[in-house]
Amino acid sequence: MTNISNIKTAATDHPILPILSARWSPYGFDNRPVAEADLRSLFEAARWAPSSYNEQPWNYLVATQANPREFERILSCLVDSNQAWAKTAPVLALGVVSLQFKQNHKDNRAAVHDLGLAAGNLLAEATARGLSVHQMIGIVPDKAREIYQIPEHFEAWTAIAIGYKADPVTMPEALKERDLTPRQRKPLREFVFTGHWGQVAPLVIE
């Protein structure tokens, strides 16, 4: 496999955990299956994410290539541009969120935020196990609702592809370019403010 760790490992401005700098979202996946024990641990990590009032509003619909019919059902819930590359991943999942609190049925404004926290835990666990995850917002929620009979006040929000990174040399040219492009992020001064909106916090000025 082509070694692209030097390209994709984040060039951070300040020290962070290695697992965070190593994590990235590939478009190419190897056909190697993911062990069920590893998948259980990924969702166990998601289980222990924090949530508002401990609501735990996340749910997952999961399928692996070992069950082609179920895999195709989830794949069909992705937009066409995501289906084109995600079809090679060994595991696909839909992240479904409950938009109401169970206790009082009021709107849960934190629900999608908390689904993101669960995803963050899952991503970190996957990276620690040598796995990769690519998250997608490009799904067709109404189709997911129809196929899986998702109840009212729940909504399919995201999809995730899980597996082992492919060697970029085996990938189509357009996808290869994406996977070989170095990661970039805007600097802290562009999003850490104090005093008023847009005023850079002194703590991020060196």
Looking at residue 10, what is its pLDDT? 93
Looking at residue 3, what is its pLDDT? 60
- Among candidates 35, 8, 10, which has minimal Cα distance to 21? 10
- pTM of the predicted structure, to 2 decimals: 0.93
pLDDT beneath 70: ranges in the chain: 1-6
Q: Tell me: the pLDDT tens digits for 4-13?
A: 666 789 999 9
User: Rounded CA gap, 27 and 85, in Å?
Assistant: 6
- Among candidates 77, 73, 71, which has minimal Cα distance to 33? 71
Domains annotated for the chain, with CATH where assigned, are 25-182 (3.40.109.10)
Looking at residue 4, what is its pLDDT? 61
Looking at residue 2, what is its pLDDT? 54
